[in-house]
Amino acid sequence: MGVGEPPERTDPGAPRIFQSGQPDGVPPLELTGERTLPDVPEENYWYRRHSIVYEWIGARVGGLGVVDLACGEGYGSAVLARSAADVVGVDANPDAHAHAEARYARPGLSFERTLIDSYEQPRDAVVFLQTIEHVTNPGEILDHCRGLVEQSENPAVYISTPNVLTLAPEGADRSGNPWHVHEYRPDEFRALCAGHFGELEIFGLHHARALRAHQIAIERFGWDSIHQRLKLTKPFYDRFVPSISERDFALVSERERSLDGALDLLAVMRP
What DSSP letter does each residue of 217-267 carry, written as one string?
HHHHH-HHHHHHHTT-HHHHHHHHHHH--GGGEEEEETTTS-GGG-SEEEE
pLDDT at 221 over 90: no
Can you give the pLDDT at residue 131? 97
> Residue 77 falls within a domain, yes or no?
yes
> Is the pTM higher than 0.85?
yes
Stretch 28-38: mean pLDDT: 92
The string of DSSP letters for 106-158 reads BTTEEEE-S-GGG-----SEEEEES-GGG-S-HHHHHHHHHHHHTT-SS-EEE
Cβ–Cβ under 8 Å, residues 100 and 77? yes
Q: Could you give the CA distance from residue 71 to residue 119 in angstroms, rounded to a whole number?
A: 13
Amino acid at 69: L
The boundaries of the domain holding residue 105 are: 41-207+250-270
In CATH, what number is assigned to the domain containing residue 125?
Answer: 3.40.50.150
With cut-offs at 50, 70 and 90, classify the pLDDT of residue 8.
Answer: low
Q: Could you give the CA distance from residue 2 to residue 75 in angstroms, rounded to a whole number?
A: 24
Can you give the pLDDT at residue 176? 87
Can you give the pLDDT at residue 230? 84
Write the Ramachandran bin of 52: left for phi over 0, alpha for psi from -120 to 50, otherwise beta: alpha
Neighbours of 172 (CB within 10 A): 10
Stretch 216-226: mean pLDDT: 90
pLDDT at 1 over 80: no
> Residue 60 falls within a domain, yes or no?
yes
> Residue 114 falls within a domain, yes or no?
yes
pLDDT at 216 over 90: yes
> Residue 141 falls within a domain, yes or no?
yes
Cβ–Cβ under 8 Å, residues 71 and 99? no
Per residue in 154-180, pLDDT (tens digit) is 999 999 999 999 999 988 989 989 999
By 3-state DSSP, what share of the chain in percent is helix, strand and coil, each rounded to 5?
A: 40, 20, 45
> Residue 6 falls within a domain, yes or no?
no
Stretch 105-133: mean pLDDT: 97
Stretch 71-83: mean pLDDT: 98
Q: Could you give the CA distance from residue 173 to residue 38 in angstroms, rounded to a whole number?
A: 29
> Residue 266 falls within a domain, yes or no?
yes
Count of domains in the chain? 1
Stretch 223-249: mean pLDDT: 93
User: What proportion of the chain, given as a percentage, has pLDDT over 70?
Assistant: 95
> Residue 82 falls within a domain, yes or no?
yes
> Residue 11 falls within a domain, yes or no?
no
